[in-house]
Amino acid sequence: MTQIAVIGPGAIGCTVAAWLMQNSAHDVMVAARTAIVDLEIETTEGVLKAAPRVIAHVDAATRVDWVLVTTKAYDANGAAAWFKGLCDAGTIVAVLQNGVEHVERFAPYIAREHILPVMVDLPAERTAPGRVRQRNSGRMVVPQGGIGAGFVELFSHTHIAVSQSTDFKTEVWSKLCINSVGALSAILLKPAVIAHHEGVAQIMRGIVRECIAVGRAEGALLPDSLTQSVLAGYRSAAPDSLNSLHADRLAGRRMEIDARNGVIVRLGHKHGIPTPLNTMVVALLEATSV
Ligand SMILES: NC(=O)c1ccc[n+]([C@@H]2O[C@H](COP(=O)([O-])OP(=O)(O)OC[C@H]3O[C@@H](n4cnc5c(N)ncnc54)[C@H](OP(=O)(O)O)[C@@H]3O)[C@@H](O)[C@H]2O)c1
């Protein structure tokens, strides 16, 4: 049996835990801050049901082969508190989060060579504890290598497309370009339809241009055409669709401001690249909770 622990039974955690449990060779445990009883995932191909072992305290944790961290990026410290019960020298910690700093976020807690960053493109929303709507089959990307191959194998029985990339940096920065413009919806409290407003679209293009410049300085290969393709993607989404930053603000939850826009400002500063638009959206988003 492959022993797997999923830390954080939110939208992504419940979805991957339920999919992993469709393989009887997987023994899946869920580490929860807020208790759940079981899982029901509404997918485009039907409802997935699963009843993993749920633990609410680190004392109940046992050693596993794989830890999948699916908390929000800002909950890294809380997620890492589970490691002492779950990890030994052979455990791999896969970080299924947004942003570009998966490894840096967990390096204070576990050796870098044991951390597998995962780019997650899996639209899912929590409708109740343990209940998730997965909007499409989705995909995940990991760096090329032996550990990456093991992660691909974990999901080989699922409908989620999991692949390895020889240029993972470009994968995560491309996703960051898409995520970066979601800040405007969260500030304005307007869903995707707002991208048809030409003034807002201009700001979106500028936010992406800053992200491209910083990403290139970090070594990602980002074409200029991303500016247009990100906007086109936003405009072709359902007019009422909410990005997760916007959904979190509406629900009164903390937003992943730093992982999505703050990082562009911080790394821009490191490379001497001005990022006035991202600086502005970070300030405005932070001010919403003052
Ligand atoms: N949802 C998507 O469509 C999507 C798509 C791509 C990428 N992502 C990324 O994936 C990551 C997870 O997002 P999400 O949407 O799944 O977030 P989410 O629905 O807010 O779920 C996060 C879960 O982590 C739990 N948690 C927080 N601290 C914990 C701790 N110390 N121990 C155990 N559990 C803890 C939360 O508990 P509570 O139940 O108490 O809140 C919640 O259940 C984020 O980085 C996000 O940006 C999400």
pLDDT in tens, 215-242: 999 999 999 999 999 999 999 999 998 8
pLDDT at 211 over 90: yes
Q: Please pick, among 49, 84, 169, 175, the residue that the annotation labels catalytic.
A: 175
Is residue 54's pLDDT more than 90?
Answer: yes
Q: What is the pLDDT of residue 83?
A: 98
Is residue 98 lining ligand 1, measured as CB closer than 6 Å?
Answer: yes
- How far, in Å, CA of 115 to CA of 19, rounded? 22
Between the CA of 74 and the centroid of ligand 1 the distance, in Å, is 10
Instruction: Compute the C-alpha angle 173/189/240, nearest 5°.
Output: 80
> From the CA of 282, how far away is ligand 1's center (Å)?
21
Residue 282: pLDDT band with limits 50, 70, 90 = very high
Mean pLDDT of the chain, nearest integer? 96
175 among known catalytic residues: yes
pLDDT of residue 252: 93
With 90 as the cut, is the pLDDT of residue 45 above it? no
Give pLDDT, residue 104.
97
Q: Would you state the pLDDT for residue 289?
A: 82
Q: Is the CB of residue 220 below 6 angstroms from any atom belonging to ligand 1? A: no
At 290, the pLDDT band (50, 70, 90 cuts) reads: confident
Q: Is 135 in the pocket of ligand 1 (CB under 6 A)?
A: no
Q: 170 near 221, Cβ under 8 Å? A: yes
Cβ(212)–Cβ(273) below 8 Å: no
Q: What pTM was estimated for this model as a whole?
A: 0.97
> Cβ(32) to ligand 1 under 6 A?
yes
pLDDT tens digits along 238-267: 999 889 999 999 999 999 999 999 999 999
Confidence of residue 180 (pLDDT cuts 50, 70, 90): very high
Ligand 1 mutation target, pool 120, 248, 256, most atoms within 8 A of CB: 120
Task: Say how far apart CA 193 and CA 185 lie, in whole Å.
Answer: 9
